[in-house]
Amino acid sequence: LGVFAAERGDVKKLRTWFSITFVMGAIFIGGQIFEYTSLVKEEGLSLSSDPYGSVFYLTTGFHGLHVTGGLIAFLLVLGRTYAAKRFTHHQATAAIVVSYYWHFVDVVWIGLFATIYLIK
């Protein structure tokens, strides 16, 4: 929805949707940190405990890094919308590219989630 707002030049809706997405992404990262902490303390699952632990932490960790990169990109786009005097085509393109990246990371997560949590 933020992409459609960017295409229309609707800065207010772009800010709203990108802010909502940022908050949801930050919650995801918080959940990942909570899960890592719980698995280490309660299950004793670590990066070196067994092959599943290695695969789990490496794949979800790299995904978390990519989500963090997306969150930084969202902040940069949001910052640009506040710093600029008017919303330009260049800013709309940047917002669209960040959105494409975010959706790619979403699709990767669906595959990771299915593989790691559903097909143990």
Dist. CA 103–CA 55, nearest whole Å? 23
Supply the pTM of this predicted model.
0.86
What band does 69 get if pLDDT is binned at 50, 70 and 90? very high
State the CATH class of domain 2-118: mainly alpha
CB atoms within 10 A of CB 27: 10
| 8-63 tens-digit pLDDT | 878 899 999 999 999 999 999 999 999 999 999 998 888 888 888 898 999 999 99
Q: Where are the domains of the chain?
A: 2-118
